[in-house]
Amino acid sequence: MRKVAIVGVGMSRFGEEWTRGFRDMLIEAGSRALSDGGLHGEEIDGIYVGTMAPGSLVGQEHIGALVADSMGLTPTPATRVEAACASGGVALRSGYLAVASGMHDCVVVGGVEKMTDTPGEEVASALGGAGDQEWELFMGATFPAIYALMARRHMKDFGTTEEEMAAVAVKNHSNAAKNRYAHFQSEITLETVMKSKPIATPLKVFDCSPITDGAAVAVLMPLDKAKKCCEKPIEIVASAQASDALALHSRASLTEVKATKIAAKKAYEIAKLKPSDIDVAEVHDCFTIAEIMAIEDLGFVEKGMGGKATAEGKTALSSEISVNTSGGLKGCGHPVGATGVKQAVEIVWQLRGEAEARQVKKADMGLTHNVGGSGATAVVHIMKRGY
Amino acid sequence: MRKVAIVGVGMSRFGEEWTRGFRDMLIEAGSRALSDGGLHGEEIDGIYVGTMAPGSLVGQEHIGALVADSMGLTPTPATRVEAACASGGVALRSGYLAVASGMHDCVVVGGVEKMTDTPGEEVASALGGAGDQEWELFMGATFPAIYALMARRHMKDFGTTEEEMAAVAVKNHSNAAKNRYAHFQSEITLETVMKSKPIATPLKVFDCSPITDGAAVAVLMPLDKAKKCCEKPIEIVASAQASDALALHSRASLTEVKATKIAAKKAYEIAKLKPSDIDVAEVHDCFTIAEIMAIEDLGFVEKGMGGKATAEGKTALSSEISVNTSGGLKGCGHPVGATGVKQAVEIVWQLRGEAEARQVKKADMGLTHNVGGSGATAVVHIMKRGY
């Protein structure tokens, strides 16, 4: 298989974008990505787009063709992929495979979700489809409730505290405040999180990622070709994905995401790296407890120490491992299908040294980690400079 | 890229399956496919599943993980793909790429849709998401209306008659009556079609494919490996896909599906074949006019002659080209995401000589043709015996 590089990236401003639709955001992110890579539409020969629930949220399916159509890229083959909140990561992996295999030479990978056109209850119901609809959502287990169970068990088994979880939100808001594309543009204090409204105890509103609109796009090419036509190609050195039971009650452990561990192990093997080689990582913090489990499952900290490490600043900008420099799902926002692609966009910016006020000092090796539902899908990518 | 073969196929009985859910049908089709290929679950290292609108129809997304989970195949990477009614065909193509590239060695490709748990109006609304929601469905253009416009124009430009369209339904019901997995098990007469209730003139209820539940599964392996472990591998000799504008009003012609022509041209080039080399084809007859356009766009008959050819029996079993021997979408039923995979299952049976009472005399080269919406996606696969 061929080596693959990201040659252009772009995103729309994440937020509550009431005046802009699905297509507008995609066109904005796509135009920026093509322009960033110095590419023209005619060069694109494949499209993959990740989006979770456009059928329920905006009444539109057939999203691959929609992207090809609205970006003026027909008759390019266009495929939508879905793996709940990991849809963007799976789209990136699909694009990676299409280029690595030699089937396509220049692939647009998009991620998008339009969430704020829909009443809150319907959004919660649509998002519930990421879990086991029959055995979780139908019984009243929404996603905050499911992650609250995981948080409770993590607190019991490892002594993790609510303050440590809050520290994830404080860090990620601080990073988001340095990211002009982020949904939230202001820093918050530990007190703000601790005093915020309970959603599913112990999770409070500031432990939860927001409902966000947004799109992100990355353009992929074979590395050898990218080196000739592109100034700063970023090589994808590993792509790995794993599945697990859809329902939390079917899993062996409540305090780890097994699919993350399996995908990460495989990615490290492919890249011939260990967790300590990673400088900067975008991980899936749909809730603060999720980031704590992620940094443990990815091997950045010892099992059970994720909360403590975060509270001690070990995952802050330019520390041992810089986690969620974009602001993560918590601070940058979580337009579900866009998130996995946005993670790649942020890592590309960090590796290129273009991350503005949130640029980490040493950024040689980056990782993205995207989770679907409460852990039934996990996708891990590792990237480094290809120049 | 490696050559790829289908080594096992299976499907659930298509129909109004009120006592069986999404998972039941998948498990049934999947078990049959694994058993057919003499395979065990542990051999599977990749899963792709095509389904169009499970979020709107049964409140469930994250379908890749659901399949891995319910078939006992975790932690195998599992990805759902969607391209409206072409979801199954795109899933087959994704599985083909995964095996051809060397990323996976044994891939389950599933297609599924559970449609009859949902009230009719909601189904129509969900299916409308295959077109342009903002500019077609919202304005009242449901799919029968969109295909009725195409039919009217075909009648005006080429003199196609309602009786010729009805002949498609009569043929496909006749084939379905010979297929124990088909939704409809009885033959119909031209008079039945002509006297049936108008849906969107000139289309009557018997010109339309039904609302159906069902699942279909195919298992893919590299051809060289398949030859060693499998009795009757069927080689996929070409896979091609194209996109077009989502809305009918944005296309250059109402009487052809440009994406079909582009995908077919590419598939014939890859396979080094011409249309007349194909013996048996499963084409996308969501409405009778769609089959007429398909056999023209695929090059089986001259442009404008599709209706006449059908009425003259040129597409009947064991004629010049046997079209929709399974009964097609019209007779076998159209569980949207399952259709593209079911087409492959039927072609495998025909090429192996296992199609029971509907077996065609000469079946050396087969083709599947799956369309999304009114033509914004088209996928074409060509297959032959690999033994």
Per-residue tens of pLDDT for chain A, all 387 residues: 999 999 999 999 999 999 999 899 999 999 999 999 999 999 999 999 999 999 999 999 999 999 999 999 999 999 999 999 999 999 999 999 999 999 999 999 999 999 999 998 899 999 999 999 989 999 999 999 999 999 999 999 999 999 999 999 999 999 999 999 999 999 999 999 999 999 999 999 999 999 999 999 999 999 999 999 899 999 999 999 999 999 999 999 999 999 999 999 999 999 999 999 999 999 999 999 999 999 999 999 999 999 999 999 999 999 999 999 999 999 999 999 999 999 999 999 999 999 999 999 999 999 999 999 999 999 999 999 999
Residue B51 in contact with residue B113, Cβ under 8 Å? Answer: yes
Average pLDDT of the residues in B270-274: 98
Is residue A250 less than 8 Å (CB to CB) from chain B?
A: yes
Phi/psi for B121 (5° steps) reads: -65, -40
Give the 3-state secondary structure of chain A: CCCEEEEEEEECCCECCCCCCHHHHHHHHHHHHHHHCCCCHHHCCEEEEECCCHHHHHCCCCHHHHHHHHCCCCCCCEEEEEECECHHHHHHHHHHHHHHCCCCCCEEEEEEECCCCCCHHHHHHHHHCCCCCCCCHHHCCCHHHHHHHHHHHHHHHHCCCHHHHHHHHHHHHHHHCCCCCCCCCCCCCHHHHHCCCEEECCEEHHHECCECEEEEEEEEEEHHHHHHHCCCCEEEEEEEEEECCCCHHHCCCCCCCHHHHHHHHHHHHHHCCCHHHCCEEECCCCEHHHHHHHHHHCCCCCCCCHHHHHHCCCCCCCCCCEECCCCHHHHHCECHHHHHHHHHHHHHHHHHCCCHHHCCCCCCEEEEEEEECCCCEEEEEEEEECC
Residue A22 identity (one-letter amino acid): F
Q: How far is A315 from chain B (nearest CA, A)?
A: 29
Pairing of strands B107-113, B46-50: parallel
Is residue B371 less than 8 Å (CB to CB) from chain A?
A: no
Interface with B, mutate which of A1, A73, A76, A82 (most B CBs under 10 A): A82
Q: Residue B62 and residue A103: Cβ atoms within 8 Å? A: no
Report pLDDT for A365: 98
Interface with B, mutate which of A26, A49, A62, A258 (most B CBs under 10 A): A62
Q: How far is A48 from chain B (nearest CA, A)?
A: 10
Residues in chain B: 387
Using CB atoms within 10 A of its CB, is residue A60 exposed (0-12), middle (13-18) or buried (19+)? buried
Pairing of strands A46-50, B46-50: unpaired
Q: How far is B269 from chain A (nearest CA, A)?
A: 15
Q: Which of B183, B284, B334, B381 is catalytic?
A: B334
Report pLDDT for B339: 98
Residue B247 in contact with residue B60, Cβ under 8 Å? Answer: no
Q: How far is A260 from chain B (nearest CA, A)?
A: 10
Report pLDDT for B229: 87
Average pLDDT of the residues in B103-117: 97
Report pLDDT for A278: 98
Residues 137-156 of A with CB under 8 A from B: 137-138
Residues 61-90 of A with CB under 8 A from B: 61-66, 68-69, 73-84, 90
Q: How confident is the model over B280-321, as pLDDT tens digits?
A: 999 999 999 999 999 999 999 999 999 999 999 999 999 999
Report pLDDT for A229: 87
Is residue A257 less than 8 Å (CB to CB) from chain B?
A: no
Task: Out of A60, A62, A84, name the one closest to residue B61 (CB).
Answer: A84
Is residue B44 less than 8 Å (CB to CB) from chain A?
A: no
Q: Which of A183, A334, A369, A381 is catalytic?
A: A334
Average pLDDT of the residues in B38-54: 96
Q: Residue A79 and residue B94: Cβ atoms within 8 Å? A: yes
Q: How confident is the model over B183-209, as pLDDT tens digits?
A: 999 999 999 999 999 999 999 999 999
Average pLDDT of the residues in B254-272: 98
Q: Is A334 a catalytic residue?
A: yes
Sign of the C-alpha dihedral computed for residues A79, A83, A86 and A89 taken in this order:
negative
Cβ neighbours of A61 in B, within 8 Å: 52-53, 82, 84, 126, 129-130
- Taking the C-alpha atoms of residue A265 and residue B75, their distance in angstroms, rounded to an integer, is 13
Cβ neighbours of A125 in B, within 8 Å: 59
Q: Residue B84 and residue A65: Cβ atoms within 8 Å? A: yes
What does the mean pLDDT of chain B come to? 97
Q: Does residue B84 have a pLDDT over 90?
A: yes
Q: How confident is the model over B63-78, as pLDDT tens digits?
A: 999 999 999 999 999 9
Task: Out of B55, B240, B376, name the one closest to residue A62 (CB).
Answer: B376
pTM of structure: 0.97
Task: Out of A61, A78, A243, name the one closest to residue B129 (CB).
Answer: A61
Pairing of strands A234-243, A377-385: antiparallel
Rg, Å, chain B Cα set: 19
Residue B46 identity (one-letter amino acid): G
Interface with A, mutate which of B49, B52, B71, B79 (most A CBs under 10 A): B79
Closest CA to B377 of A12, A244, A74: A74
Q: Could you tell me which residue, A304 or B21, shows the higher pLDDT?
A: A304
Residues in chain A: 387
Closest CA to B372 of B85, B51, B54: B85
Q: How far is A57 from chain B (nearest CA, A)?
A: 9
> What are the C-alpha distances in Å from B274 to residues B278, B282, B313, B382?
8, 16, 21, 11
Residue A339 in contact with residue A85, Cβ under 8 Å? Answer: yes
Between A and B, how many residue pairs show a Cβ–Cβ distance under 8 A? 215
Closest CA to B110 of B89, B127, B126, B131: B89
Q: How many C-beta atoms lie closer than 10 Å to residue B249's C-beta?
A: 12
